[in-house]
Structure 1
Amino acid sequence: MRWILFIGALIGSSICGQEKFFGDQVFRINVRNGDEISKLSQLVNSNNLKLNFWKSPSSFNRPVDVLVPSVSLQAFKSFLRSQGLEYAVTIEDLQALLDNEDDEMQQNEGQERSSNNFNYGAYHSLEAIYHEMDNIAADFPDLARRVKIGHSFENRPMYVLKFSTGKGARRPAVWLNAGIHSREWISQATAIWTARKIVSDYQRDPAITSILEKMDIFLLPVANPDGYVYTQTQVSIPKWAGTRLRRSENGNPSFAGKGASDNPCSEVYHGPHANSEVEVKSVVDFIQKHGNFKCFIDLHSYSQLLMYPYGYSVKKAPDAEELDKVARLAAKALASVSGTEYQVGPTCTTVYPASGSSIDWAYDNGIKFAFTFELRDTGTYGFLLPANQIIPTAKETWLGLKTIMEHVRDNLY
């Protein structure tokens, strides 16, 4: 603790008001025992260095990734050396990556305006994503429809695409969720690519055709529209997890338990009460009103993980064996594209205890097949996955998603 106070004094108040990331670096620390986890955990709970943990200290086999402001570099390195902690710098200059990303987005926007074509290999604004949802519905009116399910805190609409062959009301359904953590841009990009893939492959791919003959698919590509806009207009992506709180900590299961914080400034703030955020409530209300969802899949990044309940407890879910089998089949299918390896397991023991997660809520509310994908990569770029990896990520993820949906199709309950 004395070291934390000392290094806080070294940087003083100069970091306040920092809006750019010139010279900021991302460190990877490989923890070897409980004592090292405890040392790093002290930094998590300290504001002196203004650190931003991309992967928090949780277990021996899970590296810690942390964004360190340039003014804190000397003090942070001194702390690591004094504690005998081994580290490597994975991103040397964060602003350089951000500048490159901004340039690519601006160039892509110009090309799209001139060609009137949506580039699925680029990151987009909320407006562009919503416009493309309209295009998909217009191109395939007999299969896709854009549905408003609610609005955000700042009154932005929340839209899902419903894919249905229209054969009966309240058919068994799959919910695909993305973008609940606004800085995880690869999840929103993968989701909108997936939307186009569903309509393009219907009646061409026997698997997706048979899935849609039996079930509807609802896809929410941007579950946190306010946060997504904020990352693109107010603050750069690396530091912003969401608006006001992380929505995945705001569900019902073991609300405010392990893995969540009661500090409103924390990235894992759970909110004043379960489902307190209007975005979460909109999803919960829609799913409960529908009443016949059989599968809930939440797309996140990063780490290359495929997880199932529970996050709030180490106890095994009643259907753990089946969920594990399905997840491993999905991970194998995903790996068949580019060799990308995913770790599989229950959330609590695969990463860390996580209270109020969306898949735990889904599972405890009768949606048996509940999974979380943590997409590419494992830390080379972290939340700043280059746009040239969007389509490779989406293509491999699609095979994993399709494997899960095929199992649901064949095992309706």
Structure 2
Amino acid sequence: MFGLLITGVFFIGVVGGQQNASDASLSSAQGYEGSKVFSSVIANDRIYHDFLELRSQRKIAFLNDLMREKTSTLYFLVLQEDVVMVGERLQALGIPFYVVEEDLQSLLARENGGPQMFSNGLLEDGPFDLISYPSYAQILKHIDFYVKDPLRGKHVSKFIIGESYQGRPIVGVRFNRGHSEDKAVIFFECGIHPREWISITTCAWMIHEFSSNAAKYRDILDVYEVRIVPSANPDGYEYTKTHRFWRGNLRPSEKNPRCKGVDINRNFDVGEFCGPGTSQDPCNEEYCGDSPFSEPESHALKNAILVVQDRLHYYISLHAYGQLWMYPHSYTTEDAKDHERFHRKASAGARAIREMSGKNYTVGPIAQTLYAVTGSSVDWAYEHGARNAFVIELPPTQAEARGAMGFIVMPDKIQSIAQSTFHGIRAMIKSD
């Protein structure tokens, strides 16, 4: 159930709260006490544009993607200081809305309850524990452990594709049994949207498995070189320590000094730049940037793709959430020339996950399944050498997520999601 339908104003005390001019307060508040998640049915274009106006005023933040349907449910977050105003505004517009999550801060505390979640203590060498969300410094420490461990490191190496805006190395892990430089490549890009923590830990799980149980995956590692970038936006990921729902990088805007952050997955040079599904407003969380590849993070991924473009058989971008297995194009609803192969392979992966976990994934082209967006990494990779390119939106479904729970995945779910996702990926690869 969504909760109570609100028919009047909120009888909630309002106190001053911290706000910064990113797209919606959601992305910028350091604390979420008194903040709430709501839902509303987008029954027509007028209602949709009313919500867009509230978002442009940074009074609400969208927590889900609206599917390509006539009627979709929007989940949105309102900070404590804006709860009364937003309630009164929606009531005046005649838009029904529901309380979905009364106490977001409590929900975040439960998510953060995993062992050593973003610990400030000593960074110890060792494998990923896979029952918590590590900081980026911890991720790098764990990677070094796998690379240096004589029992694991023979086929494992580290590579750096570039630096983030704040100077953090964007690190990847390479798995190459036999050390052949001619193998086809599978490239995993994870965490390009840093609030999607489960995508990062799913890739951490794969790093652990390929490092520790290589013989178990000979069907992949004997045929392919695997490259995994577990956190493609490390500045943003670190920022989610205190700004849990941050989506972009951290480069300050030259157009508006109050704002910062570019959506890296809207900054690739594919389709009309800053076209559908993006924003030219530097305070919007889907801001496309000043120009294609203006961001060091997208530029680093571009170079990483070009290094292997002649051998790139799979480019797989992990996101959350929605249980979707999608493929090009993002920027047009026209079918890609490889549409039939993409659909067959994505269907094989989705079927394997359903048989293992009972979870159903929707399969289809990105623009036809969600909506059109320009500047995505998957489209650019496909048009620059990748034989196959996929976006996998991890669990839960939008209906199950009810907004915040799409991004807030409890630590005890990490391993089951990672295992079933990789089971599907493995089945997709075997479908060649």
Unaligned runs of 5+ in 2: 1-9, 21-28, 251-260
1:238 aligns with 2:255: no
SS at match of 1:198: helix
1:251 aligns with 2:251: no
* Aligned-partner residue type, residue 245 of structure 1: V
Q: 2-side partners of 1:61 and 1:306: how far apart? A: 21
Choose which of 101, 104, 125 in structure 1 pairs with 2:135: 125
SS at match of 1:251: coil
Residue in structure 1 matched with residue 218 of structure 2 by the alignment: 209
Unaligned runs of 5+ in 1: 1-6
* Aligned-partner residue type, residue 145 of structure 2: N
Choose which of 394, 404, 409 in structure 1 pairs with 2:418: 394
**Which stretch shifts more, 373-382 or 11-20?**
11-20
Q: CA deviation at 1:108?
A: 8.8
8 Å Cα contact 1:37-1:58 kept in structure 2: no
Q: CA deviation at 1:241?
A: 4.1
Residue in structure 2 matched with residue 45 of structure 1 by the alignment: 56
* Aligned-partner residue type, residue 168 of structure 1: S
* Aligned-partner residue type, residue 270 of structure 1: C
Structural mapping, 1:13-52, within 5 Å: 16=19, 19-47=30-58, 49=59, 51-52=60-61
Cα RMSD of the aligned pairs, angstroms, is 2.6
8 Å Cα contact 1:178-1:298 kept in structure 2: yes
Structural mapping, 1:160-309, within 5 Å: 160-204=172-216, 208-232=217-241, 235-243=242-250, 244-254=261-271, 255-291=273-309, 292-309=311-328
8 Å Cα contact 1:30-1:63 kept in structure 2: yes
Q: Alignment length, in residue pairs?
A: 392
Q: 1:311 to 1:146 in 2, by over 3 A?
A: same
**Which stretch shifts more, 381-390 or 96-105?**
96-105
8 Å Cα contact 1:52-1:239 kept in structure 2: no
Residue in structure 2 matched with residue 4 of structure 1 by the alignment: none
SS at match of 1:63: strand
Q: CA deviation at 1:296?
A: 0.3
8 Å Cα contact 1:31-1:85 kept in structure 2: no
Q: 2-side partners of 1:226 and 1:14: how far apart? A: 24
1:102 aligns with 2:112: yes
Q: 1:404 to 1:61 in 2, by over 3 A?
A: farther
Residue in structure 1 matched with residue 333 of structure 2 by the alignment: 314
Q: 2-side partners of 1:157 and 1:23: how far apart? A: 36
SS at match of 2:219: helix
8 Å Cα contact 2:317-2:390 kept in structure 1: yes
Structural mapping, 1:136-151, within 5 Å: 136-137=146-147, 138=149, 139-151=151-163
Residue in structure 1 matched with residue 430 of structure 2 by the alignment: 406
Structural mapping, 1:340-359, within 5 Å: 340-359=359-378
TM-score w.r.t. the length of structure 2 is 0.84
8 Å Cα contact 2:366-2:372 kept in structure 1: yes
SS at match of 1:40: helix
1:7-62 residue CA offsets vs partner (Å, 9 max, x unmatched)? 9xxx9986646531111011122222333323322223233x2x111225564354
1:74 aligns with 2:84: yes
1:369 aligns with 2:388: yes
Q: CA deviation at 1:126?
A: 0.7
Q: 2-side partners of 1:120 and 1:258: how far apart? A: 37
8 Å Cα contact 2:36-2:80 kept in structure 1: yes
**Which stretch shifts more, 120-129 or 103-112?**
103-112
8 Å Cα contact 1:296-1:359 kept in structure 2: yes
Q: CA deviation at 1:156?
A: 0.9
Q: CA deviation at 1:167?
A: 4.6
Q: 2-side partners of 1:334 and 1:118: how far apart? A: 24
8 Å Cα contact 1:201-1:209 kept in structure 2: no
Q: Which has more helix, going by share of residues?
A: 1
**Which stretch shifts more, 107-116 or 352-361?**
107-116
8 Å Cα contact 1:238-1:384 kept in structure 2: no
TM-score w.r.t. the length of structure 1 is 0.87
8 Å Cα contact 1:40-1:57 kept in structure 2: no
1:171-198 residue CA offsets vs partner (Å, 9 max, x unmatched)? 2101001011111111111110011122
**Which stretch shifts more, 258-267 or 163-172?**
163-172
Q: CA deviation at 1:290?
A: 2.5
SS at match of 1:142: helix
8 Å Cα contact 1:298-1:372 kept in structure 2: yes
Q: 1-side partners of 2:292 and 2:125: how far apart? A: 45
**Which stretch shifts more, 332-341 or 155-164?**
332-341
Q: 1-side partners of 2:363 and 2:192: how far apart? A: 21
**Which stretch shifts more, 216-225 or 324-333?**
324-333
1:334 aligns with 2:334: no
Q: CA deviation at 1:116?
A: 5.6
Q: 1:63 to 1:146 in 2, by over 3 A?
A: same
**Which stretch shifts more, 97-106 or 192-201?**
97-106
1:183-223 residue CA offsets vs partner (Å, 9 max, x unmatched)? 1111111110011122344323xxx3122222101000010
Q: 2-side partners of 1:107 and 1:219: how far apart? A: 22
SS at match of 1:365: coil
Q: CA deviation at 1:270?
A: 0.8
